[in-house]
Amino acid sequence: MCYYEKKLNTALQNFKETTDDFIFYEDPPSVFSLNSVFCENTLEFYRDYVAKGIPLLLKGACQNWNSTLKWSMDYFMKALPEKIVRVDVTPNGLADGIATRNKDGKEEDFFMLPEEQKMTMKEFIENLQNPKDNYVCYIQSQNSNFYTDYDELHTDIDLTVDWADRLFDKVPDAINFWMGDSRAVTSMHKDPYENVYFVIDGYKDFILIPPTELPFVPYEQYPIGQYKNVTPAGYEMEPQYEDSKKNMINSEIDNSQESKCKGDCHITKPKRSKVSPYKTQPWVAIDPLNPDLKKYPEFARAKVLHARVSKGDCLYLPPLWFHHVRQSHGCIAINYWYDMDYDIKYCCYELLKDLCTI
How many other C-beta atoms are found inside a 10 Å radius of the C-beta of residue 249? Answer: 15
Q: Burial level of 331, CB count in 10 A (0-12/13-18/19+)?
A: buried
d(CA 80, CA 121): 6
In a domain, 153, yes or no: yes
d(CA 315, CA 62): 11
DSSP assigned state of 358: -
In a domain, 227, yes or no: no
DSSP assigned state of 113: E
pLDDT < 50 stretches in the chain: 36-37, 247-273
User: For residue 347, what is the domain's CATH number?
Assistant: 2.60.120.10
Q: Identify the domain containing residue 75 by its residue range.
A: 3-86+117-217+288-356
How many other C-beta atoms are found inside a 10 Å radius of the C-beta of residue 345? Answer: 17
In a domain, 245, yes or no: no
In a domain, 130, yes or no: yes
Strand partners, 108: 101
Is the link from the previous residue into 28 a cis peptide, with omega within 30 of 0?
Answer: yes
Using alpha carbons, list the distances in angstroms from residue 220 to 98, 167, 280.
10, 36, 10
In a domain, 185, yes or no: yes
What is the number of structural domains in the chain? 1
Q: Which residues of 278-316 are buried (b: 16+ CB within 10 A; e: fewer)?
A: bbebebbbbbbeebeeeebeebeebbbbebebebbbbbb
In a domain, 299, yes or no: yes
DSSP string, 310-350: ETT-EEEE-TT-EEEEEE-TTEEEEEEEEEPP-SHHHHHHH
In a domain, 66, yes or no: yes
pLDDT digits (tens, 9 = 90+) for 64-110: 999 999 999 999 999 999 999 999 999 999 999 999 999 888 899 99
| Amino acid identity for residue 207 in this structure | I
Strand partners, 136: 90
Question: 42-47 long-range CB contacts below 8 Å, 24 or more apart?
Answer: 42/163, 42/166, 42/167, 45/167, 46/167
In a domain, 11, yes or no: yes
Query: Quick one: pLDDT at residue 21?
Result: 86
